[in-house]
Chains A and B, each alone.
Chain A
Amino acid sequence: QLQLQESGPGLVKPSETLSLTCTVSGGSIISSSYYWGWIRQSPGKGLEWIGSVYYGGSTYYNPSLKSRVTMFVDTSKNQFSLKLSSVTAADTAVYYCAGETVTTPLVWFDPWGQGTLVTVSS
């Protein structure tokens, strides 16, 4: 059974870069069945899809965040990562990683990691 677990700093200073990693267990990140996605949840904006990455390296991002987002996969560690630059208080949220099943054009997110709270504050 596929399981995902987020890790990374819980506190990031304004203007710095938020970095999170998601470790996949119970299966290989090298899978044609999944993209690997990041979704965040804040009280003000609800659930927001940030973007997704394929094990081969292809990515697609939410246009609203695209200029600040980078995602990549480390197949040797069965992990994928998110970097969000120039953060502000508006980026404070619970960040989830998720397996993204793509049966074009239908896309759904399952499973999800437990989520990690990232607070942007000096």
Chain B
Amino acid sequence: DIQMTQSPSSLSASVGDRVTITCRASQSISTYLNWYQQKPGKAPKLLISAASSLQNGVPSRFSGSGSGTDFTLTISSLQVEDFATYYCQHSYSIPPYTFGQGTKLEIK
């Protein structure tokens, strides 16, 4: 199975900060990488597909980049509603489709 490793596992930041979360795959996955946001007690919400395609309705302060094994999710100017846990997920080749362990973004 392809393993997805996110860093950091947790992150403290302030409103207005620029934040970057990294996801690394154990082998090349081209750009078959998605990002989700999860708030406490809620289901994950798809933010970005194919490494960099922003989903409809997702604020433009979110962006994704990368290919191969290294990917980043960037929030350009943190808002209060962005404090949540973020997950990456690959869909390269055959299943299983694995998720990263998550990055919890907390208010400093």
Q: Which residues of A contact B (CB under 8 A)?
A: 46-49, 51-52, 60-64, 96, 98, 105-110, 112-115
Contact = CB atoms under 8 A, between A and B. Distances in A.
A98 B100 CA distance: 18
Nearest to B94: A60
A60 B95 contact: yes
B72 interface: no
Interface of B is mostly: loop
Given A96-B43, A112-B44, A113-B43, A106 B50 contact: yes
Nearest to B44: A112
B78 interface: no
A108 B34 contact: yes
A67 B89 CA distance: 24
A49 B43 contact: no
How large, as a class, is the contact surface on chain B?
Answer: 20 to 34
Given A47-B44, A47-B89, 20 more contacts: A46-B87, A49-B96, A49-B97, A62-B96, A63-B1, A96-B44, A98-B43, A105-B32, A105-B91, A106-B32, A106-B34, A106-B50, A106-B91, A107-B97, A108-B34, A108-B91, A109-B34, A109-B44, A112-B43, A112-B44
Contacts of A61: 95
Given A49-B98, A49-B99, A110-B55, A105 B44 contact: no
Interface in B22-42: 32, 34, 36, 42
Contact of B49 (A51, A106, A112): A106
A102 to B, nearest CB: 9
Nearest to A94: B43
A46 B49 contact: no
A48 B93 CA distance: 17
B8 to A, nearest CB: 15
B62 interface: no
Given A106-B32, A106-B49, A109-B44, A46 B95 contact: no
B37 to A, nearest CB: 11
